[in-house]
């Protein structure tokens, strides 16, 4: 536990620190909820220590977060949104006026107002939640679509660059311990047989058919806070990986995380399938907010994006297994192998359902369009 009173003193809080406790179920950063006294009223804030093992340049990261949140806030205020300050994260400045502050141990911290009367969910409980989360991610992309100025910093270079992920896998295959390579033989074969898919989206970006946009890149359900009363998506959080990317990465990862019938490391492969009712909910939500700026090529690849991001994720688990389990935390031997097997089973399920998924995309896109016209 860090000394949160000391952290509080680094920021321009304009309220008196009372106490703080670890908060939330995030796996990357250290998150604390801190209570303050503001003229007799209790208010709370989030203090977060950025994990600099994952994010090598926390200042570059915070410059992105600062620009993106300021832009989103000004768009919301211009539109006279009644809850502008609840609809985007906002950075509380440090005492020297930056959006971040370093503690005595060299850790980089940030502070956000606590978004009240809303919370994130680790597991999807209803179609409504999937729809609202997808809508919120679409709104986030829309709010940041016209961010001017320099290109955002890449907080994790080549994060969703699938050809690079494939190269990393190929290198890991060559360098792997022979026993591990043997244990993963069928999965290696599966990945290499899909190598043609790895280039599809990056080729579309290079040709200009798919534009580079500001994307979130970690579009799990628990990174959207849903209103406690209405279940409406209130605020997209966890902006660490917000950087230049394709909307297909964001939507593909929504499919990967929200649509499977099982958990990420399910070992009974027969149980693994893609829930088209969940996909329908995601599409309804996402297209209701994003269809105003998406181009046809992006829409036409939404179903495929689910396959691509699932393949990519499986390849990352496989690479980590071959490298000796150095990146992802494992809870048992072969955990990464099981995770990869499960992701690849989902890829197969998506391949089978792709025509159905494509139809769903076009139907819902058409419906959203005719509702707008």
Q: CA dist 216 to 184, 282, 310, 315, Å?
A: 32, 16, 17, 21
97: left (phi over 0), alpha (psi -120 to 50) or beta: left
Location of structure tokens 């409406």: 232
Task: Report how far residue 268's alpha carbon sits from residue 303's, in angstroms, rounded to the nearest whole number.
Answer: 25
112 binds, among Mg ion, ligand ADP, none (CB under 5 to 8 A by kind): ligand ADP
CA atoms within a 13 Å half-sphere pointing along the CA-CB vector of 164: 7
- Give the contact letters, 83-122, x = binds to ligand ADP (CB under 6 A), - = no: ------x----------------------x-xx----x--
**Nearest distance from C-beta of residue 313 to Mg ion, angstroms:** 15
Q: Is 23 in the site for ligand ADP (CB under 6 A)?
A: yes
- β-pairing, 41-49 with 108-113? antiparallel
Footprint on residues 187-226 left by ligand ADP (CB under 6 A): 222-223
Residues near Mg ion (CB under 5 A):
26, 28, 223, 238, 240
Q: Which is nearer to ligand ADP, 121 or 293 (CB)?
A: 121
Q: Given the complex with Mg ion, which of 169 and 233 has the nearer CB atom?
A: 233
Site for ligand ADP in 61-90 (CB under 6 A): 89
Residue 101: HSE in the Cβ half-sphere, 13 Å Cα cutoff: 23
C-beta atoms surrounding 277 within 10 Å: 10
d(CA 240, CA 221): 16
Residue 62 Cβ, how far from ligand ADP at the closest point, in Å? 13
- CB nearer ligand ADP, residue 26 or residue 93: 26
Binders of ligand ADP among residues 141 to 180 (CB under 6 A) are none
330 makes contact with ligand ADP (CB under 6 A): no
Opening angle at CA 106, ends 100 and 107, nearest 5:
55
Site for ligand ADP in 36-65 (CB under 6 A): 46
Nearest to ligand ADP by Cβ — which residue? 26
Binding footprint of ligand ADP on the chain (CB under 6 A):
23-24, 26-29, 31, 46, 89, 112, 114-115, 120, 222-223, 237-238, 240
């Amino acid at each position: 536990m860090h000394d949160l009173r000391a952290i509080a003193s680094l920021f321009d809080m304009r309220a008196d620190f009372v106490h703080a406790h670890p908060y939330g179920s995030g796996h990357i950063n250290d998150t604390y909820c801190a209570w303050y006294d503001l003229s007799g009223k209790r208010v709370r804030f989030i203090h977060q220590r950025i994990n600099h093992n994952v994010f090598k340049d926390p200042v570059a990261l915070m410059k992105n977060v600062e620009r993106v949140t300021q832009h989103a806030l000004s768009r919301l205020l211009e539109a006279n949104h009644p809850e502008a300050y609840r609809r985007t994260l906002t950075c509380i400045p440090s005492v020297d006026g930056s959006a971040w502050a370093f503690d005595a141990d060299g850790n980089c911290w940030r502070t956000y107002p606590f978004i009240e009367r809303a919370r994130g969910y680790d597991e999807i409980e209803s179609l409504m939640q999937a729809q609202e989360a997808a809508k919120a991610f679409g709104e986030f992309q829309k709010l940041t679509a016209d961010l001017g100025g320099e290109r955002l910093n890449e907080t994790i270079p080549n994060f969703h660059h699938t050809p690079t992920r494939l190269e990393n896998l190929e290198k890991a295959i060559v360098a792997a311990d022979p026993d591990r390579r043997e244990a993963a033989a069928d999965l290696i074969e599966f990945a290499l047989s899909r190598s043609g898919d790895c280039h599809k989206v990056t080729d579309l970006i290079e040709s200009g058919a798919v534009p580079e946009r500001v994307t979130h890149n970690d579009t799990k359900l628990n990174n959207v806070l849903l209103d406690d009363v209405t279940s409406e998506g209130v605020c997209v959080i966890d902006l660490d990986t917000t950087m230049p990317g394709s909307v297909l990465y964001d939507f593909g990862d929504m499919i990967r995380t929200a649509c499977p019938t099982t958990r990420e490391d399910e070992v009974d492969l027969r149980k693994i399938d893609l829930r088209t009712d969940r996909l329908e909910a995601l599409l309804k939500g996402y297209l209701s907010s994003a269809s105003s700026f998406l181009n046809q090529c992006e829409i036409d690849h939404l179903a495929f994006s689910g396959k691509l991001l699932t393949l990519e994720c499986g390849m990352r688990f496989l690479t980590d297994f071959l490298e000796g389990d150095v990146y992802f935390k494992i809870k048992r031997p072969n955990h990464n192998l099981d995770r990869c097997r499960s992701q690849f089973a989902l890829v197969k399920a998506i391949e089978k359902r792709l025509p159905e998924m494509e139809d769903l995309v076009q139907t819902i896109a058409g419906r959203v369009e005719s509702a707008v016209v």
